[in-house]
Chains A and B, each alone.
Chain A
Amino acid sequence: MSLTSDGTEALVQPSAADVSDYVALMKPRVMSLVVFTALVGLVVAPGHVHPVIGFTAILCIAVGAGASAALNMWYDADVDALMTRTARRPIPAGRIQPGEALAFGVTLGTGAVVVLGLLVNWVAAALLAFTIFFYVVIYTAWLKRTTPQNIVIGGAAGAFPPMIGWAAATGSVSVEALLLFLVIFVWTPPHFWALSLYRADDYAKAGIPMLPVVAGPGETRRQIVLYSVLLLPVGASPWLLGYAGSVYGAVALTAGVLMVVLAWRVHGRTGAAGEQAAKHLFAFSILYLVVLFAALLVEGLGGFAGRMPA
């Protein structure tokens, strides 16, 4: 079953993979956040989308995200094996052959882009293709192992889904879609660096130049505060610029202030207390993104912004 085996032994190795291993290869938890943000982009976009076409778009974006995850795990199997957080992933755990993951990822990725193009539109399909390329080639294969800015630039890949959803609905990209992109883009560094603060040993062991490994935890805490402060106006920008309603504005400001407070706590503490604060910030950052996009979804469905027919 193995497609890229270099030894004859691997050629006669039957696949030991269960369906659940392939599901794990698609990083279902990351996928759920991608699906949610893409859905919001689709719903808040102006105009009417037939539910079946909308469902198709979300399905393709989800499968594209799954393909990116599979290709990421295929490329990163060597470093994943060295880190406790990732050592139990299907490839380092030996449940899926690297070639199987590669074939799975390429098939799903190609299929998702082609189906999105044929059934929805080619602008959305092109954006999805670029997102997969960006995540797998630019982030995974290039930046991740070479620069501490890896997740800052790589964060663009995770910021594209609402823009793809928007493009699926309208056939183009506009300022509103760009703002949704920016919210996730600026959100990613404090989110990921909070995690990397208490996983720094893991990253150092695997030789990945995450900020705490290269510049130290003090500089990382400083950067977390800087990005969290920047996130406050960026998060509120859809409301400040008049694209979202007051419900979203209130949610974005409240969550943004809480994010800054939690980041400040990370900044002020070291040792076990600092680790605890970083874990709190990491957990809250996920909630932050969910409530902001949920507020947009509620406004979009309720027609608060005056675009969607109630």
Chain B
Amino acid sequence: MNQGEVMDERSPDDGVVLTEEQKRRRRARSLAIGLALGALALLFYVVTIVKLGPGVLNRPL
């Protein structure tokens, strides 16, 4: 949020200032990307267990 406040204090010439609606949509997009990445990590975990099972622990030490 700090970055947003800093941006708000700048003059419009200094860069892009997002509207509230744009911020809301960016947050929704970020959330969707986060959920998708989390689901992907979970998928890789579950498939690893399914494919290797106890074999996950079977590694040279």
User: How many residues of chain A have a CB within 8 Å of chain B?
Assistant: 15
B8 CB to nearest A CB, Å: 14
Does A214 have its Cβ within 8 Å of any Cβ on chain B?
Answer: no
Interface residues of B in 1-28 (CB under 8 A from A): 15-16, 18, 22, 25-26, 28
Is A19 among interface residues, defined by CB-CB distance under 8 A? Answer: yes
Stretch at the interface among A8-16, A84-92, A187-195, A264-272: A8-16
State which of B16, B32, B43, B47 has its C-beta within 8 Å of the C-beta of A14.
Answer: B16
With an 8 A cutoff between CB atoms, is A22 at the interface?
yes
Asked whether, in the complex, the Cβ of A53 is within 8 Å of the Cβ of B50, the reply is yes
Judging by beta carbons under 8 Å apart, are B43 and A22 in contact?
Answer: no
Chain B contact residues, CB within 8 Å of chain A: 15-16, 18, 22, 25-26, 28-29, 31-32, 40, 43-44, 46-47, 50-51
Interface residues of A (CB under 8 A from B): 12, 14-19, 22, 50, 52-53, 56, 59, 115, 119
10 closest Cβ pairs, A-B complex? A52-B50, A19-B32, A19-B28, A119-B47, A18-B25, A14-B22, A12-B16, A14-B16, A14-B18, A50-B50
Task: Write 13 A-B pairs (CB below 8 A) sorted by A numbering.
Answer: A14-B22, A14-B26, A15-B22, A15-B29, A18-B29, A19-B25, A19-B28, A22-B29, A22-B32, A50-B50, A52-B46, A53-B50, A115-B43
